[in-house]
Structure 1
């Protein structure tokens, strides 16, 4: 690798027999043993494919669990995303940085270049696992973490998948960290969201959800325009000291003007009011709706501007461009990559114009 480039080089080594087993069935979650070398340090790891529909892509995404040592740089697990459908490679990273800028909890992320048994695999985004180490790194109180694994994580009693009453209040979630009794708090949350009366909702919901932080999460989805963001692509963290749930964004490549297939998405595709049961109920409360409107206006004047975001977008694109030229799956599309700055900045302008037009909906 060229010593002048800025992003880390991760060297993956897999026994050919194990690699054949990994490739035999992309839907198998069982990990294989592998070795990862980072800055000269050799790490023994367990490796598996990650994601759902992305497993069918030519360029695979991986989940890495550290084996020896068990913890590396404060993490026991990391995710390596191929960002295969994102022409820019930066939408996930740009989204996480944006969420952080507006006051949300987010996983750390940075780009790396991966070789597998000496052959280039290309540009990847390393994403921090949202688990107990995520909490420790930020000196946050211990608490339960639940991943929203499918569309049933819609804060409703009705299934988003089959439109029938859910058979379990935990449907759509997978516990990443916590104890068995934490399941009760998730069940109680979903139950209360759907059964508190309209008259009591304002004073009761604040016993279960950090509303201010929830609205920041909603705002992040609205500005980045993540269509799946309201019923998927997030983690729930129950703060063990306050007892309140917070939401952590996850999987934000289909944003900033492109959909999950990498196609251009219209700036008005995600409505300003969002969608899911909890968001609808919170925005039904006048004081919360005003709080949300003020928050959108504040972010629109500060972080969601071309002036603020343009240098961030340009900096990310420039830092990975030398690697894109070495990515065997994407180097032939460098001309498309070079147009992404314009695509993203155009989206920001058009999305902002749409949101300004719709601000009266929140009065």
Structure 2
């Protein structure tokens, strides 16, 4: 194991008064000015805490907006995730890379080491923002992007939060790219998911969503076991040329055998059929259900194996281990960090057993 590998170092400087203001109320989203030095280049930025329950953790996650210059390496924004509850610090990146391998649009990410006001804050995952630059970087057609911000992004007419009929079909979503006119397409999509008859659904739903890419995303959620993945933790991109929605994963640290609290997750915790309205309706159709089953079988043969995944886990953990040893929040638990490869191995083996048992029900 090469202990000499050093991660890119990001030096963050926040004026003491601004830092005090940032810490005064962790729930305020209003950004504050700061400076970030990357590869010797000093950048003026705006910074704010990010996430919901993760803001309570001692190691904070950040959203960075570039101010001067307005963009850096083609990005206006980046996210710096603390990965505090993940003992391995690699689950998020492992998941994003896994989705990309399945043919799903997925954020790019890399590990960095953050120093704040001269004090080591430790290993972070830098995650690409899903915005207009996400589209440009991939040479995709212009379109709209919506973030799923809470459980009401469940593709249903019923609220996941209060179990009543939604007052608006936009509930659960926040528009990041596009104009007000794009909200019509989002609402039309959700309305049709819920109102098309069974005989109409198979043909007409393909006018709204790229079914193959959607099923690939479902498979990604199923294999990684992201419990919140079906009603949260994703973004919707509507391709301006095909006029079809695609789905982009987000926040995948509670995966690969550990839940949102970092506890060991049972291998059958996330059902093979998933749980949102669009997935349920698709899997009710024989053609789509067979397509999904074939997809699962192919992925279980090619990608979701110990032989394929564990070398990737080993490579990531070897890359970050020297820096984890310098992380003030993690260095006292290096024994736990070193055991995570076996935790992920065990998860893959047991998850495969569960899926093999359940896949026959998809006939």
Q: Same fold (TM over 0.5)?
A: yes
* Corresponding residue of 2:360: 360
Equivalent pair of 2:55/2:61 in contact (CA under 8 Å): yes
Q: Distance in 2 between matches of 1:102 and 1:86?
A: 23
Matches within 5 A, 1:107-256: 107-256=107-256
Q: CA deviation at 1:7?
A: 1.8
- How far does residue 3 in structure 1 lie from its aligned partner after superposition? 11
Uncovered stretches (5+) of structure 1, i.e. residues with no partner: none
Conserved 8 A contact 2:303-2:309: yes
Partner of 2:39: 39
Structure 1 segments of 4 or more deviating over 4 A?
none
SS in 2 for 1:309: helix
Look up the match of 1:7: 7
- Report the 3-state secondary structure (helix = DSSP H, G, I; strand = E; otherwise coil) of the residue aligned with 2:227: coil
Q: CA RMSD in A?
A: 1.0
SS of 2:230's partner is coil
Q: Deviations over 1:184-219 (max 9, x none)?
A: 000101100000001110000000000000000000
CA distance in 1 between partners of 2:7 and 2:173 (Å): 34
Give the aligned partner of residue 306 of structure 1: 306
Q: Partner residue of 2:94?
A: 94
Q: Structure 1 CA distance, aligned partners of 2:9 and 2:22?
A: 22
Look up the match of 1:18: 18
Query: How far apart, CA to CA, are the structure 1 residues paired with 2:5 and 2:347?
Result: 29
Q: Which residue number in structure 2 is paired with residue 281 of structure 1?
A: 281
Q: Which residue of 2 aligns with 1:341?
A: 341
Deviations 1:102-141 (A, max 9, x none): 1110000000000000000000000000000000000000
Asked if the contact 2:3/2:321 (under 8 Å) is kept, the reply is: no
Count of equivalent residues = 362
Give the whole-Å Cα distance in 2 for the aligned partners of 1:142 and 1:169.
23
For 2:164 and 2:349, locate their aligned partners in 1 and report how far apart those are by CA, in whole Å.
39
Q: TM-score, normalised by structure 2?
A: 0.99
Aligned residue runs from structure 1 range 19-98, under 5 A: 19-98=19-98
Q: Secondary structure at the match of 1:199?
A: helix
Cα distance, 1:38 vs structure 2: 0.4
Q: Distance in 1 between matches of 2:286 and 2:65?
A: 46
Correspondences of 1:259-270 after superposition (within 5 Å):
259-270=259-270
Distance 1:326 1:308 in 2: 29
1:45-77 deviations in Å (ceiling 9; x for gaps): 000000000000000000000000001001000
Distance in 1, Cα, partners of 2:54 & 2:30: 17
Distance in structure 2 (CA, Å) of the matches to 1:74 and 1:150: 29
Partner of 1:319: 319
Structure 2 Cα separation of the partners of residues 4 and 261 of structure 1? 31
Deviations for 1:129-159, whole angstroms, at most 9, x for unmatched residues? 0000000000000000000000000000000
Structure 1 residue 40, shift from structure 2 partner: 0.3
Inter-partner Cα distance in structure 1 for 2:136 and 2:320: 30
Asked whether the equivalents of residues 3 and 322 of structure 2 are also in contact (C-alpha less than 8 Å), the reply is no
For residue 361 of structure 1, report the CA deviation from its aligned partner. Answer: 1.1
Instruction: Note if contact 2:106-2:249 (Cα within 8 Å) is conserved in structure 1.
Output: yes
